[in-house]
Structure 1
Amino acid sequence: MSGEPVGEGARRRRVAENLHALRERVRVASEKAGRAADDVTIVAVTKTYPARDVRILADLGVRDIGENRDQEAAAKAEQCRGLDLRWHFVGQLQTNKARSVARYADVVHSVDRVRLVRALGARARDAGRELSCLVQVSLDPGSDVGVLGPRGGTHPSDAAAVADAIAAESGVTLGGVMAVAPREGDPAGAFDRLYAVASTIRDRYPQATVISAGMSGDLEMALAHGATHLRIGTALLGERSPNVG
């Protein structure tokens, strides 16, 4: 994308073309991994993109929408009410934002501490809702020895304790795990570590089947290492602009 304004029809055609290409990438990668493409969920990450892009995606059959900033997500969810969407909160989350997120999110990918579990459970109960929560695991270099990166996530050895807290808290349910691939180091090894954590949690909680991993640049590797949910922004909607509307 050039960043220049485009008409609604042209924008829809561009997004439709990108979606077709993305689905083909997923199909090919799934086939190579011996998996069914239909078992993979594409979460369209729409941060900084306008609500009209969410409506275009919905019209094209994309129902899973991801956001990582509460203020933007809350407003966009309100603007897109009635579209039968499933909202995924995928960014780092402070406990003081739990009340707001619990009002619109269906899935929270970034649950990395027990205090946040309790805040989300309380706010979900207040709202009369139930949230699916994923344990965010840090895969940054050093996380295996207790040095956690800046993007959030619990130490891999602590992931089971966070999962236990989710399973015990009313108002939330345990969906599985999430991670962001490290910027440095071996991404294949990192995804292997995530799969090992996911397997340990799934052994205790068979319903925790989600592995949220993989973005526009590394989705093939993520799928080869068990990802069930891909968080895709650029490959669907183009390079980001700071404008939201």
Structure 2
Amino acid sequence: MTDRKSELADNLARVEERIDAACAAVGRQRSEVTLIVVTKTYPADDVRLLSELGVREVAENRDQDAAPKAAACTDLLLRWHFVGQLQTNKVRSVASYADVVQSVDRKRLVNALSTAAVRAGRELDCLLQVALDAESGDAEGRGGVAPDRVDELADAVAEAEGLRLCGLMTVAPLVGPYAGRPRAAFERLREMSSSLRVAHPTATMVSAGMSSDLEEAVAAGATHLRVGTAVLGVRPRLG
């Protein structure tokens, strides 16, 4: 086993131990929580090693990095998540390889994704990225739709050809009432998910929690965790 593969295996084992402990602490089954490894800034070779170690869900946030990486890994049994802010001019590319787009935050993006998915003959699973620090309108910075516009956007995704509404995603806010309170933020997302499922019963995914706050996310009911640094190490700076 290569040194890098051993390093990744050890890191994965530690993350799994954390998830196991977090689930046990709140009486959840480990099978209720899916680990997505965020491979942004790391090479396709690392993705291949992760696949050999049993990882099946990976995430990227920049199309210019993700597209060639996904192309280099087409022989692997992987589910690709796009988790970054998505510009409409990148949609056609993203729709060609992503299985899940977790960062849907505006109607224009819904329309563009639908057109691209139909053109590619694919169906894309979509999560609405919720900006819990936004009071109204679409948020800036990290992106996301304001809580009071989730229902409207959810309906648009559900009605769009080539798209499937699968749930909600958020990033723990750095400002606003939830700053420094990731569990409270994730519990709010879970409440919103419960409300969303009244009209859209299949929108069951709750994507929340990263390397630093995965325990809080599990406690709050997250179904999917997006973990990068704890598995791959401190990220190299982008050029």
Shift of 1:148: 2.9
Cα deviation code 1:2-34 (max 9, x no counterpart): xxxxxx700000100000111110011011121
Please name the residue that 1:100 is paired with: 93
Q: Which has the higher contact order (CA 8 A, sep 6+)?
A: 1
1:153 aligns with 2:172: no
Q: CA RMSD in A?
A: 1.5
Q: Which runs of 4+ in 1 moved over 6 A?
A: none
For residue 173 of structure 1, what is the aligned residue in structure 2? Answer: 164
Q: Percent of aligned positions with the same letter in both sequences? A: 54
**Which of 220, 223, 226 in structure 1 is aligned with 2:221?**
226
Gapped regions of structure 2 (runs ≥ 5): none
SS in 1 for 2:164: strand
Among residues 38, 45, 57, which one is paired with 1:52 in the alignment?
Answer: 45
1:90 pairs, out of 64, 80, 83, with 83
Specify which of 91, 102, 109 is matched with residue 102 of structure 2: 109
CA distance in 2, matches of 1:157, 1:180: 17
1:139 corresponds to which residue? 132
Distance 2:191 2:236 in 1: 36
The one-letter code matched in structure 1 to 2:155 is D
Cα deviation, 1:137-157, whole Å, max 9, x if unaligned, reads: 0022xx235683410000001
Q: Which amino acid aligns with 1:40?
A: V
One-letter code of the match for 2:56?
Answer: R
Q: Mean Cα displacement is larger for which, 164-173 or 148-157? A: 148-157
CA contact (8 A) 1:33 1:224 kept: yes
Letter in 1 for 2:10: E
Is 1:49–1:243's contact at 8 Å kept on the other side of the alignment?
no
Alpha-carbon distance between aligned partners in 1 of 2:163 and 2:142, rounded to the nearest angstrom: 23
Matched, 1:127 2:120: yes
Structure 2 Cα separation of the partners of residues 84 and 146 of structure 1: 38
1:167 shift after superposition: 0.5
Taking structure 1 as the reference length, the TM-score comes to: 0.92
Is 1:201 aligned to 2:196, yes or no?
yes
Matches of 2:18 and 2:82, distance apart in 1: 24
Structure 1 equivalent of residue 59 of structure 2: 66
Q: Deviations over 1:54-106 (max 9, x none)?
A: 00100001010100000100010001111011000000001111100000000
Cα distance in structure 2, aligned partners of 1:169 and 1:145:
24
TM-score (norm 2): 0.95
In structure 1, how many angstroms separate the alpha carbons of the residues matched to 2:30 and 2:98? 25
Amino acid at match of 2:101: V
Structure 1, unaligned stretches of length 5 or more? 1-7
SS at match of 1:98: helix
